[in-house]
Amino acid sequence: MRAPYSSPTLAISFGAGSDSSSTNRERMLASRQGTPALPTAADVFAAFEAFRPAVSMFMAGSVILGWGHGTSDIDLYVVLPEASGPIEGAYTRTASTTDPTMYIVLGQFGAFRADIEVWTHEQIHEVIDRFYGPPAARAADRTEQDLLNRLVTGRPLHGDRWWSQARTRITESSYPAWLVGRRLSRARSATDSAARWLDSGSAVPAVLAAREAFTCTVEAVLAAGGDYSVNRKWLYRRMQATPVPGLETDQAWRRLCLEGAEAAPADWTAAVLADCRSLQDGIASRGADR
């Protein structure tokens, strides 16, 4: 039996993600003309009363790094002194901390849409503290790694002292070394996998595994140079921004684009794995120098 019919329709709801009005939308579009202004702490407090007790707020992401474009969001982090209870309209996500709940709120500040992550002081320091403890305690999931990177590369909007102290605690902890080690471990696993695929005569999987090994190695090299980002989409920009001995950006880029891989997959895989080893040795020797 056929379903009952009504003519197809679209109903506009202004403001993707953040509910607003046609007036707000006009204001937002107007503010995007010229050089849009970044929000201030006062703008954030005016829009979100629940954030007033925040011990710190910082902005991060491509706009702050100068890599943004016309539709880039701002990533805003709000650090509350203690758990706030449910925040209206927020998504909840879980962290690995004792209090696992963190919130994501969507906001709009002038020209910019904002993804707002809400954490507590306790949660953030619980994650950092793991890197002042024994090796077995060291752990951060992807969301937490992203948080730590954003904190280090961000720009404070409120509570500068809190932000500065937390930033120093991260850079002086064992976190950078842990991150490098973790990426090297993933690189080694992908390298082993590439070798096994080659042994079994599977050229394309070997190439893709070698590319993954190379990507992980580049990420390890960058982490050793102070780039803790978890975001691969900016890898080319990150290689340009963090020069590392032995890593020439254009050559690395050609590896990532698989130049020559299809014509001679075994040779290409062997050459890429040799590059990985050389870069990994470079990290080890620079570590020994320090």
Partner 1 sequence: MTEPLTWAPVRNLGIYSRRSGSRKVIETYNDAYALSDTGAFIWSRTGTGATVADLAAWVAARYDVDEERARADVQGFLSELVSLGFLEPYPAADGSPAGSIRRPGELIPDELTAGSVCAFACPVPAAHPDAAVTVVVTDRRPELAGEAEVERSSTGPVPSYQVGTPDGGECTVQFWQSGQLEALLSRFQTSIPSQEDSQPESADEELLRRLVTGVPLAGDARFAEYRRALKASGYALWYAENHKYIAENNLEDVAGMLSVGDIESAAMTVYSAFTLALEARLALGWDLSPVREDFLARITAAPFSPLERDAVTTVLLWRGYLTAPRRWVDAAARTAEGLLIAVEQRWFA
Interacting residue ranges for partner 1, rule: CB under 8 A = 2-17, 25, 28-29, 67, 69-72, 91-94, 96, 113, 189, 193, 196-197, 200, 202, 204-209, 212, 232-237, 253-254, 256-259, 261-262
Nearer to partner 1 by Cβ, of 161 and 233: the residue is 233
> Shortest Cβ distance from residue 86 to partner 1 (Å)?
12
> Shortest Cβ distance from residue 263 to partner 1 (Å)?
11
Identify the sign of the CA torsion 128, 130, 133, 135: negative
Amino acid occupying residue 256: L
> Shortest Cβ distance from residue 245 to partner 1 (Å)?
21
Tokens linked to 288 = 């020994």
> Shortest Cβ distance from residue 168 to partner 1 (Å)?
29
Nearer to partner 1 by Cβ, of 160 and 267: the residue is 267
Return d(Cα 267, Cα 261) in angstroms, integer.
Answer: 8
Nearer to partner 1 by Cβ, of 155 and 254: the residue is 254
Residues 101-129 as b or e (16 or more Cβ within 10 Å = b): bbbebbbbbebbbbebbbbbbbbbebbbe
- Chain CA centroid to CA 182, Å: 16
Nearer to partner 1 by Cβ, of 54 and 116: the residue is 116
Return d(Cα 226, Cα 76) in angstroms, integer.
Answer: 22
> Shortest Cβ distance from residue 12 to partner 1 (Å)?
5
> Shortest Cβ distance from residue 217 to partner 1 (Å)?
16
Nearer to partner 1 by Cβ, of 53 and 100: the residue is 100
Residues 6 or more apart whose Cβ sits within 8 Å of residue 268? 207, 210, 258, 260, 261
Nearer to partner 1 by Cβ, of 173 and 269: the residue is 269
* 154 C-beta neighbours (distance < 10 Å), count: 22
Nearer to partner 1 by Cβ, of 94 and 168: the residue is 94
Strand partners, 108: 113
DSSP 167-199: HHHHHTSSHHHHHHHHHHHHHHHHHHHHHHHHH
Nearer to partner 1 by Cβ, of 161 and 254: the residue is 254
> Shortest Cβ distance from residue 147 to partner 1 (Å)?
16
> Shortest Cβ distance from residue 266 to partner 1 (Å)?
15
Q: CA angle, corner 74, sides to 52 and 234, nearest 5?
A: 140
Residues 6 or more apart whose Cβ sits within 8 Å of residue 194? 206, 207, 209, 210, 213, 269, 273
